[in-house]
Amino acid sequence: MQFVAASKLKRAQEATLASRAYAEKLDEVLGDLAIVLDGEDHPLLVRREGGKRLIVLITTDRGLAGALNTNTIRFAAQSITETGGELSVVTVGRKGRDAMRRARVPLEAHFEGFGDKPTFADVIPLARLITDDYLKGTYNRVDIVYSHFVSTLTQRASVVELLPISPPEDTEGIPGNQFIFEPSAAAVLEQLVPRYVATRIFQAVLEGKASEESSRMVAMKNATENAEELIEDLTLAYNKVRQSNITREMIEIASGAKAG
């Protein structure tokens, strides 16, 4: 399982790193648009006070991945506790669904994991569900909780505010003048917003997949090493008992011969 996870990790890591540049640039463009425009130009820019919150929790379908799912679920639970208020959860992956059910957190929907090779088309139904509910006013805020892939040995549970779309906190240069929008900023926004939501979800899914395979590879490596140490300890104990039995039998034979 360690070698299988290692082979899958390379593919998942390459997909994750390759997609980051696109996702970051799209964030940059949408952030610039959010500075220029406001809620009157697109409802996904509207920031409503209070209301219901939606959390998209991304975990794995399978276990044997070390503390990955535990850390992500604990992070989501902490976020739920600290924020409070009315909320629902959409889960991606069975581990997150089972944990939310045990905690009696309201589940809006559940999606099975997207396999070893997630595609952009896989997340479209989830993105459409989230967008439609936000536009209807069902939720006033949507967050994604997932495991961010840092390195093979490090995965960090993270939360990202998906909706409403907000300008970046640190803007370089003159806000709103970083790009020239044609035919207009509102027209560009109308086309970009649906892709933005799906892209952010897809990036989180890719990050989670890379984190899963790296965590599983490390967990299986540790399990193999622990098993080898256990075998050595048991073999040593067995040899000691065997040697003790042989010595005892030899003493009994010698004692019997002497007595005879």
Determine the pLDDT at residue 48: 77
- For 231-248, how does the pLDDT look when each residue is reduced to its tens digit (9 = 90+)? 999 999 999 999 988 888
Residue 207 falls within a domain, yes or no? Answer: yes
Tell me whether residue 30 is in a domain.
yes
- Dist. CA 73–CA 71, nearest whole Å: 6
Is 98 inside any structural domain?
Answer: yes
pTM exceeding 0.95: no
One-letter amino acid of 157: A
Nearest to 72 by CA among 10, 134, 145: 145
Residue 253: inside a domain = no
Segment 201-213 mean pLDDT: 91
- When divided into structural domains, the chain yields a total of 1
d(CA 150, CA 136): 36
Q: Which residues contact 85 (CB under 8 A, 6 or more apart)?
A: 50, 52, 53
Range of the domain at 196: 2-216
- Which phi and psi (to 5°) does residue 195 adopt? -70, -35
pLDDT over 60 at 220, yes or no: yes
Q: Are 164 and 47 in contact (CB under 8 A)?
A: yes
Sequence-distant (6+) residues with CB within 8 A of 44 are: 131, 134, 135, 163, 164, 165, 193, 197
Residue 260 lies in a domain: no
d(CA 81, CA 252): 70
Mean pLDDT score, 212-239 = 88
114 belongs to a structural domain: yes
What 224-231 contacts at long range (C-beta under 8 Å, 24+ apart), as own/partner pairs, is 224/2
In a domain, 168, yes or no: yes
Q: Is residue 234 part of a domain?
A: no
The mean per-residue pLDDT over the stretch 186-215 comes to 86
Residue 45's domain is classified under what CATH number?
A: 3.40.1380.10
pLDDT (tens digit per residue) in 22-72: 888 887 777 777 777 665 667 777 777 778 899 999 999 888 888 889 999
pLDDT over 90, % of the chain? 25
Is residue 174's pLDDT more than 50?
Answer: no
Strand partners, 160: 144
pLDDT in tens, 80-136: 888 778 889 999 999 999 999 999 998 999 998 787 788 899 999 999 999 888 888
pLDDT tens track for 132-173: 888 888 888 899 999 999 888 888 999 988 888 776 565 554
Q: Which residue has the higher pLDDT, 53 or 3?
A: 53
Q: For 47-85, what is the HEC assignment? A: CCCCCCEEEEEECCCCCCCCCHHHHHHHHHHHHHHHHCC
